[in-house]
Structure 1
Amino acid sequence: MNRIKNLTVNKRRSQRKAVFLLLIFEFLSLSLALIYNIESIKATDFITYLALLVSTLLSTMLLGRISKSDGILLMIVNMLFSIGVALIYRLDPALGKRQLQYYLAGLVLFFITYFILKAYPSWHKLSKFYVGISVVLFVITLVFGSYLGGAKNWIFIGSISIQPSEFIKVPLAFFIASFYTHYNEYAKKPFGKYYMNLIIYVFIGFLFLQKDLGTALIFFGTMILSQFVYNKDRKLILVNMVAMVLGSIVAYFLFSHVRIRVATWRDPWSDIDVTGYQITQALFAMASGGLFGSGIGLGRPDFIPVAESDFIFSAICEEMGIFMGIAVVLLFMILVYRAIKISLIQKDKFYSILAFVIGILFALQTFIILGGVLKLIPLTGVTLPFISQGGSSMLAGFILLGCLQYCGEEIKYGDEIND
């Protein structure tokens, strides 16, 4: 009994130390950005800054009281956000302040998502609802969307911009989890085992119409990796991989912006002043930063177009160093590792699969954008989760994180679906 009590006390002490170190990290990172912009910031910036520190502390303490699940998830995301917002604030204080507001809204959505999942016990039965809401969002985007960066994936309402494809990742994860939870039931129906394939191909078809190939790649990858783990039909996986390759070839010939991105990936130096300017400046920035970086405010990440969004990793490496870039990659690896660990220890089949799919979504999105920035693959228009500037990505990420947080709980219902 004393041993269990001591373990509990030690766990609480470790959590307090982790929260304390996190607050110091956030304080230092944001203070550097504020000091650099001291002449242009206003009193409201300091209020928002204090709100961030207070909300981080309160959210971590509240989570420890209401959830018995993994308390590290939120702290990992807080660290990733702190690194990103420090650079965004340094590049543009107005964007930095807006990013802080997105973060606060994301925290609220994180807890709302957690409580909604806790309140309703039958999420595994709503596969048609997940498909329906996804299709509605796709149709709304096609009808009311605007082109930006070659893809029709943004909806503008006054000064507010929304990217629905970011939010569709949430019902996608739930749909895959629901399908494999009831896989034996689907398999008994004619062509039932291909139901998930058909639905996701419809989603990818919508993304092709929107020319949003980065998100299409994430959907394809999520489907294939889920099948690799939960489906014994290896031929189906091979067919999907071939379809992905053929789809990429078709997209190359159909869309001019894809051909430009591939040409830029192959040889950005041949047109360094126009199409290759962004990627070459990003490579120059990472090289000039070295191992320890030039220091916040001492580099020139403003030479990189859209540095606060698509190429924020390059800005981090330039001013904070390659070591900080490696730290960012390791934080994402820990986040994905914790998701897979939750999947392995969760006894409820639906939430086990959901945790795995969410981890895969985070992993694929991170790999695709980092691969593009490092010139390993052609650049796509996806964001770096919790770091890049953008409200849709931030809010959708926190919704998925809230789902993942609940997946780590000991589910006391739904035993009928575990056989």
Structure 2
Amino acid sequence: MKMNKDLDLTLRENKYSNKSTILLFIFTFLSLSLALVFNIKNIGNTDFYTYLAILAVVVLSTSLVSKLTKADNILVLIVNMLFTIGVSMIYRLNPSYGKRQLQFYLVGIALFFITFFILKAFKFWSKISIFYVVISVGLFVATLVFGTYLGGAKNWIVIKNFSFQPSEFIKVPLAFFVASFYARYNEIVSKPFGRYYMEFVILMFIGFLFLQKDLGTALIFFGLMILSQFVYEKDRFFIAFNIISMIIGSILAYFMFGHVRIRVATWLDPWTDINKTGYQITQALFATASGGLFGTGIGLGHPDYIPVAESDFIFSAITEEMGVFMGIAVILLFMILVYRAFKISLTQQDKFFSTLAFCIGVLFALQTFIILGGVLKVIPLTGVTLPFISQGGSSMLSGFILLGCLQYCATNIKYGDETNE
């Protein structure tokens, strides 16, 4: 018995030692990267030490996650690693954007804990599906009325110097809506037309996104609906119907929206108009190829040649100056994040939170695949961000809200030999 206790204590010590090593790596990598960037950009030492101190507090605060949430903090560690890679490159491209990204990150960490404790405080989340629909429709209507066209889509609300993207935040009530539907599946389908409830609501959301011409987010919503039905729905008719609907919708979008036709043409052959429509994607491909395995080094490449490199094409900037190995590391980190979400879903006994964890994992996976596929010219480019890496407050804050939800879903779950304190 004593040997078992000693072994368990050794496992715990090794686990926390490994996580401390990861935290040290995160902080060291960020310190060295920012030091190089601040030297290249000739930014004052005061700014450097100020923002380094903020990052030290925030990064090291992840050690409190397991104590405050009583769940594993590996999710926050993964996101911190993604963030350190992204913010270093954003600072290198545009220091003012880098400062804002740090501020959004601080707010995001606060929202992470707030979300966790709100979910813990109330227990009615599976019973208010209509509330999620009302919130989502309200945000869609506000976007249509007050929204501004950027990049061909009307998906931003701009108020003086403040702007945000409502569709990023709608992902949160969408995930909750799908989870509440399947948590009360038998009750809902027993009502007239109850089995069509989720189908109708999500297709209505996608209709709003078509009106806004925000087809990247529409694709994410479609993907979430199809994958959740594949896992939880007994009637396979819905899956076939939605796949056909997605194909028809894509064809309609091609003929209805000029910017979609341009993006498809650019995807098929960007070289014919390399100085105009094909300029962005070709520069991104040149950047990825020129970096090689280990990159040119921070400040020694030309990612600033890529339009909007700090947002849509930040992956190309990372692979140019940090190498293909860093690009592979980014992809692996996202794979681990999605894997953990699915593992939480399989382990969680509560149907609502199990489904919620699955939906969050799918949202992260789809968004990552769509933007990386577009940047690498695997699929036509769509205007979505790379979670936790791309510059942008809406994406960062909504991502941390979803992460807080996922952290709560992991509460009191044991993973093999791991024990949550």
**Alpha-carbon deviations, 1:122-169, whole Å to 9, x = none?**
110010000000000001111111000000000111211100000000
Between the aligned partners of 1:322 and 1:309, the Cα distance in structure 2 is 19
**Cα distance change of structure 1 residues 282 and 161 upon mapping to structure 2, 3 Å threshold:** same
Tell me whether 1:134 sits opposite 2:143 in the alignment: no
Q: Provide the residue aligned with 1:54 in structure 2.
A: 57
Tell me whether 1:324 sits opposite 2:291 in the alignment: no
How far is 1:54 from its partner? 1.5
**Alpha-carbon deviations, 1:69-96, whole Å to 9, x = none?**
2320000000000000110111111111
Q: Which amino acid aligns with 1:223?
A: M
Q: Say how many residue pairs are matched.
A: 410
**Alpha-carbon deviations, 1:243-285, whole Å to 9, x = none?**
0000000011110000000000000000000000000000000
> Could you say what secondary structure the match of 1:208 adopts?
helix
Q: Provide the residue aligned with 2:196 in structure 1.
A: 194
Query: CA-atom RMSD, angstroms?
Result: 1.3
**Alpha-carbon deviations, 1:338-387, whole Å to 9, x = none?**
00000001000000000000000000000000000000000000000000
Between the aligned partners of 2:161 and 2:10, the Cα distance in structure 1 is 49
Between the aligned partners of 1:80 and 1:36, the Cα distance in structure 2 is 18
Farther off after superposition, 161-170 or 19-28: 19-28
**Alpha-carbon deviations, 1:282-336, whole Å to 9, x = none?**
0000000011111111110000000000000001110111111011000000000
**Alpha-carbon deviations, 1:163-221, whole Å to 9, x = none?**
00000000000000000011111111121101000000110010001000000000000
Farther off after superposition, 38-47 or 386-395: 38-47
Q: Provide the residue aligned with 1:70 in structure 2.
A: 72
Alignment TM-score, normalising by the size of structure 1: 0.95
How far is 1:33 from its partner? 3.2
Q: Is the 8 A contact 1:36 1:296 kept in 2?
A: yes
Q: Provide the residue aligned with 1:380 in structure 2.
A: 382
**Cα distance change of structure 1 residues 113 and 273 upon mapping to structure 2, 3 Å threshold:** same
Between the aligned partners of 1:5 and 1:406, the Cα distance in structure 2 is 30
Contiguous gaps of at least 5 residues in structure 1: 412-419
Q: Provide the residue aligned with 2:371 in structure 1.
A: 369
Alignment TM-score, normalising by the size of structure 2: 0.95
Q: Is the 8 A contact 1:29 1:82 kept in 2?
A: yes
Q: Provide the residue aligned with 1:415 in structure 2.
A: none
Segments of 4+ in structure 1 off by > 6 A?
A: none
Q: Provide the residue aligned with 1:155 in structure 2.
A: 157
Contiguous gaps of at least 5 residues in structure 2: 414-421
Between the aligned partners of 1:404 and 1:273, the Cα distance in structure 2 is 44
Between the aligned partners of 2:25 and 2:236, the Cα distance in structure 1 is 49
Q: Which amino acid aligns with 2:47?
A: T
For 1:30-179, list aligned pairs within 5 A. Answer: 30-38=31-39, 40-42=42-44, 43-58=46-61, 60-179=62-181
> Could you say what secondary structure the match of 2:24 adopts?
helix
Q: Which amino acid aligns with 2:319?
A: C
> Could you say what secondary structure the match of 2:58 adopts?
helix
Tell me whether 1:22 sits opposite 2:23 in the alignment: yes
For 1:185-224, list aligned pairs within 5 A. Answer: 185-224=187-226
Return the match for 1:261 from 242, 258, 263.
Answer: 263
**Alpha-carbon deviations, 1:22-44, whole Å to 9, x = none?**
33333223422332332532323
Between the aligned partners of 2:147 and 2:35, the Cα distance in structure 1 is 36
Q: Is the 8 A contact 1:117 1:406 kept in 2?
A: yes
**% identical equivalent positions:** 67
Q: Which amino acid aligns with 2:364?
A: F
Between the aligned partners of 2:264 and 2:379, the Cα distance in structure 1 is 8
Between the aligned partners of 1:294 and 1:142, the Cα distance in structure 2 is 44
Q: Is the 8 A contact 1:34 1:41 kept in 2?
A: no
Between the aligned partners of 2:53 and 2:25, the Cα distance in structure 1 is 13
Q: Which amino acid aligns with 2:228?
A: S
> Could you say what secondary structure the match of 1:274 adopts?
coil
Between the aligned partners of 1:156 and 1:127, the Cα distance in structure 2 is 29
Between the aligned partners of 1:268 and 1:71, the Cα distance in structure 2 is 43
Q: Which amino acid aligns with 2:53?
A: L
Q: Is the 8 A contact 2:37 2:298 kept in 1?
A: yes
**Cα distance change of structure 1 residues 152 and 322 upon mapping to structure 2, 3 Å threshold:** same
Q: Is the 8 A contact 2:23 2:60 kept in 1?
A: no
Q: Provide the residue aligned with 1:416 in structure 2.
A: none
Q: Is the 8 A contact 1:34 1:89 kept in 2?
A: no
How far is 1:8 from its partner? 4.3
